[in-house]
Structure 1
Amino acid sequence: MVNETVQALTIAGTDSGGGAGVMADIKTMQERHVFSAAVVVAVTAQNTIGVQDFMAMPKKMIDEQFASIADDLKIRACKTGMLADVPTVEAVVKNLKKYDLGPLTVDPVMIAKGGARLLSEDAISTVREKLLPLADILTPNLPEAEELAGMKINDHDQMIQAAKKLQSMGVKNVLIKGGHQVESKESSDFILLENGNSFWVSSPRVDTKRTHGTGDTLSSCITAELAKGSDVETAIRTGKKYVQATIANGIQVGHGHGPLNHWAKIDKEGDD
């Protein structure tokens, strides 16, 4: 009976405002009936208006957190979020190689909703070269996909091209989020699977600025579903439905880019 309960791990930074990062990941996994553990790699002073400051954790503390979790828990899937700088990325990569933490979802967090940079410029190449080859699923938004793939993305054809380019870097499955295409009435994500199959998942746009933590929530929902044993496609479709529900059934918190409603429910999981 030891460790029978499904467990997942988030490797990310905190959000003192509660809407993104580790806080959003834990809330999401809990709502999806998965126990969430966390390796905190950075601490932010943050609210719905923006990021006022942040500090990366010392490498030793990152290593100790990984060791503590691996020594006691049974992690069935994990995800990365904000990784701050080169030493942090390298520490996380080292520990992901050292411990069996199940399939890895990489959410390449680079810039916060308010515009603050959460990944240093020199760390982008480290993520590209060392972290992406470990990823089972990569979930960039359009600006992040452009940065990692080294190309502009202005339409659906270029989203497909970028996904193929990212997959060639060692990523098994790629999900490029289309939420930044604001001229569209729908938010359309492109998914390229390891087996070569691909598909689009779309949802109607909701007229709201309460979308803080959307990427964290999607990637942590996918991670929770993978931990429960779902296949990649089902996990992605469930994640998309869950995020849509958290936006559509909004809550009123803060003066800026407000957080999602993490206790939102979805009727069916993984279906079209």
Structure 2
Amino acid sequence: MKTYKRVLSIAGSDSGGGAGIQADLKAISACGCFAMTAITAVTAQNTVGVKAIEPLPVHVIEAQIRACLDDIGADAVKIGMLHSVDVIRAIVKVLQDYPVKHIVVDPVMVATSGDLLVQREAIAVLQQELFPLASVITPNTFEIEILSGMKINTQEDLYASIPKMKNIGASNILLKAGHLECEEITDVLVDYKNDREYRYTMKKINTVNTHGTGCSLSSAVAAYLAHDYSMEEAVQAAINYLHGAIEAAANYRIGHGHGAVHHFYKWWE
């Protein structure tokens, strides 16, 4: 009998379908894996903004994870926004009970508006308890600023943050440059354990349809790691996938704000 490569996403739900669990399901599926979910919070949101957030009880989050891993198992786990210390610690405790080979953490901390999305004390717990379990974390420029204490306005600023990020607890960090205003952006994968860097340069696509890019990229990385790609190959494949999804979505209009990327452009176009 055949078997699937399996990826579990632990994240919040986005009713508008562009980010969060919904984006994770689409990206994981598009990258050839069987997707499962453990929802941490329900949000009422669309392309314009977030209208309401309702966190799920910690025991329900834990039960979802165990239900998936006890029966189906996972070749990789992707973790998105975790809003509180209790949720982070519960997830760390659960994951330590299972031999998951790859854990990808998208450390969602701040909204595009600059507002913090997690409790301040949760950031320290992320670094101390969750990041050490991660195969890779995938911060954007806003999150790099919080973790490094530096202002990231240019590509050179991003490069300069690399030494500052060494001691935040993660062995591999994918520094994402997508929010920078420049014609070309370069994401950097830093392997701190082996003192190596891999740079991925892409032309920036001018489009408003960028909702859920971070969720989709981290989910794609998890999917390719589940397929047994090396870390640098998984990141390259995920960046290529997301670039195609953004490029295809630029031809569409959905909603009145920031639309989603086109997760299934390889099949629908």
TM-score, normalized by the shorter chain, greater than 0.5: yes
Tell me which residue corresponds to 1:269.
none
Q: How does 1:38-53 map to 2 (within 5 A)?
A: 38-53=37-52
State the Cα distance separating 1:72 from its structure 2 match: 0.4
Q: Is the 8 A contact 1:7 1:74 kept in 2?
A: yes
Quote the RMSD (CA, aligned, Å).
Answer: 1.8
Tell me which residue corresponds to 2:159.
160
Structure 1: segments with no counterpart, 5+ residues: 267-272
State the Cα distance separating 1:115 from its structure 2 match: 5.6
Q: Is the 8 A contact 1:49 1:114 kept in 2?
A: no
Structure 1 stretches of at least 4 aligned residues deviating more than 2 Å after TM superposition? 111-118, 149-170
| 1:98 aligns to 2:133 (yes or no) | no
Tell me which residue corresponds to 2:229.
230
Tell me which residue corresponds to 1:15.
14
Q: How does 1:202-217 map to 2 (within 5 A)?
A: 202-217=201-216
Q: Is the 8 A contact 1:242 1:264 kept in 2?
A: no
Structure 2: segments with no counterpart, 5+ residues: none
Q: CA, structure 1 residues 114+265, in 2 after alignment: closer, same or farther (shift >3 Å)?
A: farther
Give the paired residue count.
Answer: 264
Q: Is the 8 A contact 2:127 2:169 kept in 1?
A: no
Whole-angstrom CA distance in 1 between matches of 2:127 and 2:113: 24
Whole-angstrom CA distance in 1 between matches of 2:163 and 2:242: 25
Q: Is the 8 A contact 1:51 1:112 kept in 2?
A: no
3-state SS in 2 of match to 1:262:
coil
Match of 1:88, as an amino acid?
V
Q: How does 1:73-152 map to 2 (within 5 A)?
A: 73-113=72-112, 117-152=116-151
Q: Is the 8 A contact 2:205 2:246 kept in 1?
A: yes
Match of 1:80, as an amino acid?
I
State the Cα distance separating 1:113 from its structure 2 match: 4.3
Cα deviations by residue, 1:190-242 (Å, 9 ceiling, x for unpaired): 11124222121111111111100000010000000000110000100011111
Match of 2:261, as an amino acid?
L
Tell me which residue corresponds to 1:260.
261
TM-score normalised over the length of structure 2: 0.92
TM-score normalised over the length of structure 1: 0.91
Cα deviations by residue, 1:53-78 (Å, 9 ceiling, x for unpaired): 11211111011112111210120011
